[in-house]
Amino acid sequence: MKRIFAIPFVAALLGAGVVVAVLAIAGDLGSNSSRTVTIESSAPLAPSNASSESRGLTPHDIYVRDAPGVVFVTSTIVKQSESPFLFGGESQQQQGTASGSGIVVSASGTILTNWHVVENAVKVTVSLEHGKTVNAQVVGKDPSNDLAVLHIPTEGLTLHPLTLGDSSKAQVGDPVLAIGNPFGLDRTLTTGVVSALQRQITAPNGFTISNVLQTDAPINPGNSGGPLLDASGRVIGINSQIETGGSGGGSVGIGFAVPINTAKSELPQLEKGGTVRGAYLGLTSLTIDESLAPLNLPVKSGALVQSVQSGTPAQKAGIHGGTLSGQIGGEQVAVGGDIIVGIDGKPVTSSEELGTVISAKKPGETVSIELRRAKGNGSYEHKTVKVTLAPRPNSVENPNTPK
């Protein structure tokens, strides 16, 4: 299986107008043409415990009410790249068009979308209902959570903000709906259920996004940035990525949405402009479970530190990475490193949980990390270290970490 950012391609014109190329980027792409709205399912939704007040609402009811609050985002992107047609590795600009979806969150012109929809954009436009198109400004971004906030002028417009729900109340099996612009088919509705909770996906800059919702509601290129709605029509996620099988680039029934609670916590800062940068520890780790039993570790759960990046809070606090290399189940594992078992008095049972705890912190916060450290004679000592977290760097090369 191959996980992608729901991105088929960007049509690009290379410098001097002599070559037409295809430029793949981390964005949702599709046609700019306006098409007839497609409703792929109209079966009644059975409300869950999390949305019991929605009894009687059908997908059509929710679509009629909420579709006007979903916009079509089109980005003109420019990216520098080396040209195979020029000597000396000279760089040139590639220009193309990327498209995705967006969510109206305020009547004052605030639009929420994915960062990868507008990344590298030199111009962004937003198409509203009835074909009205306006220029948009990117006012705030958080690449580490794949979020961006746009602002559009509201003069002469009547916007329809969507209600933001509570993603923490979502349960597996809850009915959900997705509205977006897959392959340029504006305001398409699909339905499904919440398939799983607390998934993790990789942001465009390589950091891990936690507490992600998985759904089988069909999501395709062009849906990115659009809403995942509960049975009351409240936004519980921002559709961001899909899993693909084989050589295809379309939906196979496994989609991922950034939880709306993550966006809600950042919206005030994003609306003020600038870049939101989460907390950063600066290490890679591996979940301790039964698969690591051959290592005879002193705990049955936790995060085994694999490596510590130079100059990071983890290194400054003296956290140790593995110094020996071994193979477990055909995978390379660094052994001998610290084992993280708790933060601020609360247990850490996995690498994923470590990432979730750190992502919930703010740069500048000091945390107490509880460790088990190898003494070199087969025994381990208990240690607690204080770590002052730093702002995340712009990107990481290893998509699995650092935390």
**Assigned domain for 27 exists:** yes
* Two structure tokens written together for 200: 């993790």
Q: What is the DSSP string of 189-232?
A: EEEEEEEEEEEEEE-TTSPEEEEEEEE-S---TT-TTPEEE-TT
Does residue 223 sit in the same domain as residue 241? yes
Does residue 291 sit in the same domain as residue 383? yes
Q: What is the pLDDT of residues 320-367, one digit of tens each?
A: 999 888 788 777 899 999 999 999 999 999 888 898 888 888 899 999
Q: Is the dihedral of CA 295, 401, 6, 165 positive or negative?
A: positive
Strand pairing partners for 112? 103, 149
Does residue 344 sit in the same domain as residue 383? yes
Does residue 208 sit in the same domain as residue 237? yes
CA distance 250 to 185: 14
Active site residues: 116, 146, 224
Q: What is the pLDDT of residues 292-316, one digit of tens each?
A: 998 999 999 999 999 999 999 999 9
**Assigned domain for 400 exists:** no
Does residue 270 sit in the same domain as residue 283? no
**Assigned domain for 334 exists:** yes
Examine the fold and report which residue of 256, 275, 294 is the final residue of a domain before the chain moves on.
275
* Two structure tokens written together for 257: 């949405």
Predicted confidence at residue 23, as pLDDT, reads 26
Does residue 226 sit in the same domain as residue 359? no
**Assigned domain for 403 exists:** no
CATH of the domain at 327: 2.30.42.10
**Assigned domain for 254 exists:** yes
**Assigned domain for 397 exists:** no
Examine the fold and report which residue of 275, 307, 331 is the final residue of a domain before the chain moves on.
275
Strand pairing partners for 300? none
**Assigned domain for 46 exists:** no
Domain range enclosing 341? 279-391
Residue 392 has pLDDT above 80, yes or no: yes
Does residue 264 sit in the same domain as residue 339? no
Does residue 95 sit in the same domain as residue 223? yes
**Assigned domain for 168 exists:** yes
Does residue 92 sit in the same domain as residue 117? yes
Helix (H) or strand (E) holding 272: helix 260-272
Closest CA to 236 of 40, 57, 111, 51: 51
Question: In terms of pLDDT, which residue wins out, 225 or 131?
Answer: 225
Does residue 68 sit in the same domain as residue 128? yes
Tell me the CB-side half-sphere exposure of residue 101, using CA atoms within 13 A.
35
DSSP 8-state assignment for residue 282: -
Closest CA to 145 of 209, 240, 102, 197: 209
- pTM comes to 0.72
CA distance 350 to 94: 42
Q: What is the mean pLDDT of the chain?
A: 81
Overall number of domains in the chain: 2
Does residue 241 sit in the same domain as residue 283? no
CATH of the domain at 159: 2.40.10.120
Does residue 308 sit in the same domain as residue 346? yes
